[in-house]
Structure 1
Amino acid sequence: MNVSDAAYDTVHEYPGGSESLAPRMSKGMSAATLRGKVNANNDRNVLGLLEANELMGKSGDYRILHAMAADHGFVVQRVDAPQSGSMIGALLAAAHAKGDLSQLIADALADGQISPNEANEIGRACALVQAAIVQVGQHADAAAERGGA
């Protein structure tokens, strides 16, 4: 999905559409203005970077972020700070995710080629491994803040 489509869908698929989302924006723009900003065929009102950021925050829809990342060859994975558990548990979860990735790659290579679907699955599994490793780091940060393990 391209960034323009992502912005359009973010507004138009929001419950109540632009009529309910526009008043929530900090500048209190009109629904018509918001629709114009996400209309790829309109070059008068263009959605700015700060507005796109606010739009994602207000809507809870991050497809614009994902589309921008994909345009530049990146994958975005939400990683929430750990609310419970331990650093050892997070490390074991990361090892499990890495094992799943390894098995997925082995299965994909079994026939000597990797299909587009297999490549997508591998990419998603890589993102899960990255998220799990970040969780280990977050547990370390939390432990350092409270002065213990």
Structure 2
Amino acid sequence: MNVADAAHACVHAYPGGAESLAPRLGMRAAVLNSKVNPKTTTHHLSLAEASRIMGLSGDLRILHALAAEHGQVVVSPAGAEDACDMAVLEAISALWSRNGDLGTAVHTSLADGALTQSELAQIRTAAYAVQQRMASLLERLQAMAEPEGSVDA
């Protein structure tokens, strides 16, 4: 998903949509709708506004779209509650699931002998999900790691 589509989706997924979110941002709903409409060229969402939207909504798809557009991955840091065997097992099973999604996307896209731009976009989305899950697994393992020499021998 590109950044403009992510902003549009984020605003419209907010409970009550732009009509509820706009007043919290200090603007009219019509202005917010224009700013997040990918086809509008006269109004633009500022970085500060995008940040406030994410903060108010808890929806980080704009951040994820920005990161993916620049070949980066956004991962929430693991907390102490995530540092246990079950959390690691959950992270591994989620990673395997996403690997399957990536494999399916690649296989389906190449099945007809041609790769379109939209198929490549689907593969990129699946690959981003794998990268997120891998980074999450590493964060959980890092939270569990003990300093060298601290384990009783």
Q: 1:51 to 1:89 in 2, by over 3 A?
A: same
CA contact (8 A) 1:52 1:64 kept: yes
TM-score (structure 1 length as normaliser): 0.57
1:14 aligns with 2:11: no
1:140 aligns with 2:137: no
Q: Distance in 2 between matches of 1:38 and 1:102?
A: 29
Shift of 1:59: 2.4
The correspondence of residues 1-149 of structure 1 with structure 2, limited to 5 A, is 3-25=3-25, 28-35=26-33, 37-38=35-36, 40-43=40-43, 46-69=44-67, 72=69, 74=71, 81=78, 83=82, 85-86=84-85, 89=89, 92-93=92-93, 96=96, 100=100, 104=104, 107=107, 113-116=113-116, 119-120=120-121, 122-144=123-145
Q: Deviations over 1:106-131 (max 9, x none)?
A: 84598583544764554344233322
Which residues of structure 2 form unaligned runs of 5+?
none
Greater CA drift, 123-132 or 78-87: 78-87
Q: Distance in 2 between matches of 1:80 and 1:51?
A: 24
TM-score (structure 2 length as normaliser): 0.56
Q: Distance in 2 between matches of 1:42 and 1:56?
A: 22
CA contact (8 A) 1:3 1:64 kept: yes
Q: Deviations over 1:28-85 (max 9, x none)?
A: 4444553454463434xx4220111111222234443354445x35475655636364
- Give the aligned residue type for 1:56: M
> How many pairs were matched up?
143
Q: 1:29 to 1:92 in 2, by over 3 A?
A: closer
Q: 1:142 to 1:37 in 2, by over 3 A?
A: same
- Give the aligned residue type for 1:89: L
Stretches of 4+ aligned residues off by more than 2 angstroms: 1-19, 22-25, 28-43, 59-70, 72-129, 144-148
CA contact (8 A) 1:93 1:132 kept: no
RMSD across aligned positions (CA): 4.4
